[in-house]
Chain A
Amino acid sequence: MTSDTPGGLMARLRRRRSQPRGRVRRRLGTVVRLTLALTLAGGVYAVFAPGLSADDTPQLSTAAEEGKALFDQSCISCHGRNAQGVPDRGPSLIGVGAAAVEFQVSTGRMPMARQEAQAPRKPAMFDDDQTRQLAQYIQELGGGPQVPEGGLRAPQGDEETIARGGNLFRINCSSCHAFGGGGGALSSGKYAPSLSEATDKQLYAAMLTGPQNMPVFGDNQLTPDQKKEIISYVQESLKQDRDPGGWGLGRFGPVTEGLAIFLVGIVLLVFTALWIAGKS
């Protein structure tokens, strides 16, 4: 460090001026040789490492190219060029994976209508093919979790599959989505949405990627088989439950039950009281 002080540097320059020219030429030769060696090494590396070619856009499959076109039209304003994200507008999508794209786009959450606490579910803007192309683009851009191919429900035949799925649902899901899957409030305007419209793929992708305020249930927390059991429970039991007790009052629990007793029960009985007392 001390040699970098101005005094030391001046002294060195003075010394260099006093040296003979032959030494300068020798040094120049060294520089030339070094440059040539470096160029050679770099050239060889450049030839054998295609990723570092001058072309900065990656080689995309046809589907991904289509997806990129869609992305550049509908997503780029918030997620930025090459899905790098735009500060205060949209996050980077590098590494979110095809699963995240399929969830967000197929449920209509993306593209967002406006910036708010949480993107609500709405009619999807892209059809299945377009969604797959977008997902493929993001997947090829940065990798990430993917929804596995094939059936996403637990295999039929095992009687206790749904019971196990129900147990897992009550442990992991009902604290936000509520016992009936109708959703619930979170802080500051955020919420856990209703599961009533969710498809198998969306449920799986949601667990895998943890969209918006949902935690990620990676394959270490819930194995793929457990995820499938939960999906089986939601789709085959929760949604098929035909409310044997009558109208389910939205399955909101005691809130609507309390409303019903006053709006229906007490109102009916007070009118009856009016009627009976009027008959005198």
Chain B
Amino acid sequence: MKRRKVDVNAVPGKVAGGLDERFQAATPLRSILNKVFPDHWSFLLGEIALFSFIVLILTGTFLTFFYTPSLTTVTYDGSYAPLRGVHMSEAYASSLNLSFDVRGGLIMRQMHHWAALTFVAAIVVHMFRIFFTGAFRKPRETNWIIGLTLFWLGFLNGFTGYSLPDDALSGTGLRIASAIMLSIPVIGSWVTTSIFNGEFPGHVIMSRFYIAHVFLIPLALLALISVHLGLVFKQKHTQWPGPGRTEHNVVGERFVPRYTIKQGGFFMIVFGVIALMGGLFQINPIWLFGPYEAYTVSAASQPDWYVMFLDGSTRLFPAWELRFDLWGWGEGYTVPPIFWPTVVLPGLLTVLPMAYPFIEARLTKDYRSHNLLQRPRDVPARTSLGAMAIAFWLVLTLSGGNDVIADKFHISLNAMTWAGRIGLLLAPPLAYYITYRICLGLQQHDREVLAHGVETGIIRRLPDGRFIEVHQPLAPVDDEGHGHLEYAGWVVPKKMNRLGALAPAIRGFFFPIEKPAEAPVSPGHPPVEPKSKREEITK
């Protein structure tokens, strides 16, 4: 038989050609593979969320092999001795078994939990970036709203997952959730009884939460993440202003290969950090909490951090109970105090941010599309509003853990509560004022450098005895020594080594890069001029 010669180098091309003949994929794929992404560290925060979501799916799938969502009472006889012989739900027993008797089960469970915390934390940090840079403006309002929905879905999935092990801590949380649902006027009792199929805790809640946690909510998350990323592709990524960057182009790296390779590496690092935390830091030690019984509640029972602001709002809100006659339903119709901090407040916190892009457009009368980002200092009102929101949220979150803080720092719990109440009213306006002043100061300094030049650190004594500091102007100056550069919305160099005046700038994060990488070629980029010869600065 005659051996046919195979040209190895031609194989990929042939395979790809064959695929394209059948599926006509080349044209749409080319536009995707050639997609350009701008490069800035703050654009990678959303990826952390995406990658931890992938870790969540991987570890979560492992956990489903061993978890039983059942409230049937069993007697534990696993390998954790201090609970042997205790009656508990099958859900809790299977969570213990998966922690102690399944090989690698505990680290999987811990990684899952840390990944969940990372997921929501990355969403929040990513949201800060979007907000402070004005990336939510037209045409990206939809993606902003989807992002907020993703946060609340992550919140819900986190809560259902927190409830599944049926330990004493999660049972306490579930009890509080049922109380919150009960507090809703008119429909509260119906909502609660239909979710729990009767009175709390009932027998079905675990299987319902289970299907919501492993199927319904993740599905919704997956769908919305796809739309979220699809919109980033369709509407293109925003970019910082800079040389060669306009509202109508994107300067950066192609999706394939550079961007994909970097993101692949970033995924590995996110996975690694989560695995590291899962292996090094104990999270949610359910064996210490014991099984949930209605009579057990521990001191310092807190929800996970992203729910803690609601715990805090409940702790701070005064005990104002409304009793009135509701359309002839009789006197004594009650709206319990918990309704305001746990139903109304999150409602406001959902609606207000969702409406924010439209409110801002209306107030600033700016209805144009924006693809260039704004530096936070250039929009002091928005930046200060954001700082205000963060201050509000921080006070609530700290108040959610105020008993732990009170105990460990030897502060009176009552003082903590009052500090929280006063702080909730005082901290946000204070944050607004301080942030506004800082923004104005930074703006002013940018203008000053543009007009007077960079401080050189060289002090000169004039013949008449005066001392002056020599400034390096950034552009030719007029007779009075003032530059006339327009502020371009991007970083103004403020140090001499930014201008290349000192020794050649060493690039690299931990280690210097021996050979600087070639700058990405892009049409709008100005050609790099050779460095001029150095001279001593005399003026």
CB < 8 Å neighbour of B168 from A179, A187, A257, A264: A179
CB distance from A63 to the nearest CB of B (A): 37
Kindly name the residue among A178, A191, A251, A255 whose own CB sees the greatest number of chain B CB atoms within 10 A: A255
Known contacts being A191-B407, A257-B284, A269-B48, is A176 close to B299, with CB within 8 Å? Answer: yes
Main secondary structure of the interface of B (DSSP, over half): helix
| Interfacial chain A residues near B42, Cβ < 8 Å | 273
Digitize A166-199: 1 where CB-to-B-CB distance is under 8 Å, 0 elsewhere.
Answer: 1100110011111110111111110110000000
**For residue A187, which residues in chain B have a CB less than 8 angstroms away from its CB?**
412-414
Cβ-based interface call for B391 (8 A): no
The closest CB in chain A to the CB of B412 belongs to: A189
Contact partners of B100 in chain A: CB under 8 A: 244
Q: Once the chains are docked, how many angstroms separate the CA of A162 from the CA of B48?
A: 43
Given contacts A278-B509, A279-B509, are A265 and B300 in contact (CB under 8 A)?
Answer: no
- Which residue, of A176, A186, A247, has the highest number of chain B Cβ atoms within 10 A? A186
**Cβ-defined contact, A264 with B277, below 8 A:** yes
A183 to B351, CA, bound (A): 39
Instruction: Please tell me which stretch of B79-87, B133-141, B192-200, B487-495 contacts chain A, meaning at least 4 of its Cβ atoms lie within 8 angstroms of it.
Output: B79-87
Q: Which residues of A contact B308 (CB under 8 A)?
A: 254-255, 258
- CB closest chain-A residue, reference B273: A268
* Chain B residue nearest in CB terms to A176: B299
Interface flag for A46 (CB, 8 Å): no
Cβ of B90 < 8 Å from any Cβ of A? no
Residue from the list A175, A189, A274 in contact with B299, Cβ < 8 A: A175
Contacts of A274 in B (CB 8 A): 41, 509
Decide if B48 touches A171 in the complex (CB within 8 Å).
Answer: no
Question: A245 on the interface (CB 8 Å rule)?
Answer: yes
Contact A265 B117 (CB under 8 A): yes
Candidates B41, B118, B280, B520; contact of A276 at CB < 8 Å: B41
A226 CB → nearest B CB, Å: 15
Closest CB in chain B relative to A166 CB, distance in Å: 5
**Contacting residue for A249 out of B85, B262, B269, B281, CB 8 A:** B281
Confirm or deny: B303 has a beta carbon within 8 angstroms of a beta carbon on chain A: yes
Q: Given A174, A258, A272, which contacts B266 in the complex, CB threshold below 8 Å? A: A272
Chain B: CB-nearest residue to A261: B117
- With contacts A246-B110, A264-B277, A280-B39 known, is A179 near B117, CB below 8 A? no
Pair B285/A171 contact, Cβ less than 8 Å: no
| Given A188-B412, A247-B281: A174 and B122 interface contact (C-beta under 8 Å) | no
Answer yes or no: A277 CB below 8 A from chain B CBs.
yes
Find B282's partner among A171, A243, A279 (CB 8 Å cutoff). Answer: A243
Is the C-beta of A117 less than 8 angstroms from some C-beta in chain B?
A: yes
Q: In whole angstroms, how far apart are the Cα atoms of A244 and B100 in the complex?
A: 9
Q: Mark interface residues in B492-509 (1 if CB within 8 Å of A CB, else 0).
A: 000000000000000111
Among the listed A117, A266, A273, which residue makes an inter-chain contact with B41, where contact means beta carbons less than 8 Å apart?
A273
Which chain A residues lie closer than 8 Å to B305 at the CB level? 254-255, 257-259, 261-262
Partner of B407, one of A167, A184, A188: A184
| B285 touching A166, Cβ below 8 Å | no
Choice from B83, B277, B300, B402 contacting A260 with Cβ under 8 Å: B277
Contact assessment for A273 and B283 in the assembled complex, using a CB-CB cutoff below 8 Å: no
- The distance from the CB of B283 to the nearest CB of chain A, in whole angstroms, is 5
| Interface status of B243 (Cβ within 8 A of chain A) | no
A-B contact number at CB 8 A: 224
Q: Contacts A265-B114, A266-B121: A186 and B265 contacting too (C-beta < 8 A)?
A: no
Q: How far is B86's CA from A171's CA once the two chains are assembled, in angstroms?
A: 14
Nearest CB of B to A267, in Å: 10
> Does any Cβ of B come within 8 Å of A88's Cβ?
no
Complexed CA–CA distance, A121 and B287 (Å):
29
Q: What residues of chain B lie closer than 8 Å to A268, measured between beta carbons?
A: 273
A76 to B224, CA, bound (A): 73
> In the complex, which of the residues B86, B270, B403, B507 contacts A269, with contact meaning CB atoms closer than 8 Å?
B270
Q: Which residues of A contact B40 (CB under 8 A)?
A: 277
Residues on the A chain within 8 Å of B303, using CB: 254
Query: In the bound complex, do residue A185 and residue B295 qualify as a contact, i.e. CB atoms below 8 Å apart?
Result: no
B235 shortest CB reach to chain A, Å: 21
A265 touching B118, Cβ below 8 Å: yes
Contact of A273 among B266, B296, B517 (CB under 8 A): B266
Q: Does A270 contact B (CB under 8 A)?
A: yes
Complex interface: chain B residues within 8 A of A163 (CB): 82-86
Q: Is A241 in contact with chain B by the CB < 8 A criterion?
A: yes
A248 at the binding interface (Cβ < 8 Å): yes
Which residues A212-269 have CB closer than 8 A to chain B? Answer: 233, 237-238, 241, 243-249, 251-262, 264-266, 268-269
- Taking A189-B412, A249-B281 as given, write out 13 further A-B residue pairs in contact, using a Cβ cutoff of 8 Å, ordered by the A residue number: A162-B82, A166-B83, A184-B300, A185-B402, A185-B406, A241-B287, A244-B100, A255-B305, A255-B401, A270-B125, A278-B509, A280-B253, A280-B517
Which 4 A-B residue pairs are closest in the complex by CB-CB distance? A258-B305, A184-B299, A245-B282, A189-B412
A-B contact pairs, 17 of them (CB 8 A): A177-B299, A179-B169, A189-B411, A247-B281, A251-B288, A253-B404, A254-B401, A255-B405, A257-B305, A258-B401, A260-B281, A265-B273, A272-B266, A275-B509, A276-B41, A278-B508, A278-B509
Interface residues of A (CB under 8 A from B): 117, 159-160, 162-163, 166-167, 170-171, 174-180, 182-189, 191-192, 233, 237-238, 241, 243-249, 251-262, 264-266, 268-270, 272-280
